Amino acid sequence: MKLSNLFKIAWKAILRNKLRAFLTMLGIIIGVASVIAMTAIGEGSKRSISSQLSSMGSNMINIRPTSNVNVSGGARIGASGLQSLKTTDIEAIIKGAPDVSYVSPAVQTNGQSINGSNNWPTQLQGVNADYFKIRDWNLSEGAFFTAKDVVASNKVCLIGQTILSNLFPGGDDPIGKVIRFNKIPMTIIGVLETKGANTFGQDQDDIIIAPFNTVQRRFLGIDYVQTIYASSTSESTSSQASDEISQILRKQHHLSADGSNDDFSVRTQAELIATMSSTSQLLTVLLSAIAGISLLVGGIGIMNIMYVSVTERTKEIGLRMSIGARGKDILFQFLIEAIMISVSGGVIGVILGISVTKMVTAFLGWPTFITESSIILSFFVCAITGVFFGYYPALKASKLDPIEALRYE
């Protein structure tokens, strides 16, 4: 029998029981739609995380003190109280790390910023001029402070967009205006471009940035560095730059070369992106696996309905065999019917999955990204499901005795 005729017979059989066929497809539809939606949400989340971390500076390296050093009595010092990083470490990194392009110390404190009758609780960060190149941060107006401002501990600052909107709600030009932070006056010389929220939901525009020495001496009264930010010469040299920094700091702090007693940690953006993406990918796989259970349920539904169909059409099968239909013709007839039910459900499922994904983005604002591979995989799984769960009922139909089939009531 021609393959085209088998398709026609299968299609007519499906149309004879439209509601039953649709209910059979429902498990496949839900499974495919769920897999596509979950994959799109997971991929969108991964791309969003990568984009946001890259916006912080794709080559950025973070050096922080750690609490791995024991003091008397075996107690560990909290990270906030560590003083292991010094300005001399920065000088050593600049001189001894060829794969490092920029280095900036950083200290910070929280307090109240005030302009006239307007005030806003925020964070004051002290850095040097290289920090803005490391973070790839530009100005919307004004100018950056210079190395001379850092050395002279000048009371100048740059403000983020959140500070601008809260301290200057009337839209006044802030350049040249004097604001106070914890009662100490500072002159605004620039306004930073919008950065938005970071991966962890923190508002990056809610910040005042001033020269490092100004914050360290005038606001905090300390002689150590809380954090060191560095930038590798390129993304490909981040790992080498990280190793160079580690070796230099071990030498500076007289630590063992194997890193067993390091009093600092070095983290690159590439490591952070890989960690966050790996976590997101794991959740995506888990959610997709759970959604895939619907495909299994749908496959069982196809097998069940094909058994019912074989039973209902036993006389039809006997009649076809009696006029010359071979066993393989009957096998292909029911197998094609099962595949058509599965693939039709897959098509509807793909359309539904894409629609749900668009609705999630539109109404919930979640980042999503539909990949071609998820759609292709869905069709492939649907076809395999139809073959796998439709084969045994079809095989049973092909092995019926035509005489016994014709006698079946």
For residues 299 and 27, give the distance between their C-alpha atoms in angstroms, rounded to a whole number. Answer: 8
Determine the pLDDT at residue 8. Answer: 77
Domain boundary among 236, 262, 288: 262
- Same-domain check for residues 383 and 281: yes
Half-sphere exposure of 86 (CA within 13 A, CB side): 10
* Nearest alpha-carbon partner for 303 in 342, 344, 245, 354: 342
- Same-domain check for residues 363 and 394: yes
- Same-domain check for residues 145 and 85: yes
- Same-domain check for residues 187 and 299: no
- Same-domain check for residues 81 and 187: yes
Determine the pLDDT at residue 113. Answer: 95
- Please state the rounded mean pLDDT for residues 94-116: 93
Q: In this predicted model, what pLDDT tens digit does every residue of 205-242 receive, in sequence order?
A: 999 999 999 999 999 999 899 999 998 888 778 888 88
Residue 361: DSSP 8-state: I
- Same-domain check for residues 355 and 384: yes
| Residue 27 included in any domain | yes
For residues 247 and 249, give the distance between their C-alpha atoms in angstroms, rounded to a whole number. Answer: 6
- Please state the rounded mean pLDDT for residues 154-174: 93
Q: In this predicted model, what pLDDT tens digit does every residue of 130-152 receive, in sequence order?
A: 999 888 889 999 999 999 999 99
For residues 257 and 247, give the distance between their C-alpha atoms in angstroms, rounded to a whole number. Answer: 7
Structural domain including 310 reads 3-52+277-407
Q: How many domains does the chain have?
A: 2
Does the predicted model carry a pTM greater than 0.75? no
- Same-domain check for residues 385 and 344: yes
- Assign 99 to helix, strand or coil: coil
What is the rounded average pLDDT for all residues in the chain? 82
Domain boundary among 262, 289, 323: 262
- Same-domain check for residues 247 and 301: no
| Residue 381 included in any domain | yes
- Same-domain check for residues 45 and 182: no
- Please state the rounded mean pLDDT for residues 106-112: 94
Other Cβ atoms less than 10 A from the Cβ of 319: the count is 14
Determine the pLDDT at residue 280. Answer: 65
Q: In this predicted model, what pLDDT tens digit does every residue of 268-305 receive, in sequence order?
A: 876 666 666 666 677 777 766 776 777 777 778 777 77
- Same-domain check for residues 203 and 138: yes
SS3 content of the chain, % helix, strand, coil (to 5): 55, 20, 25
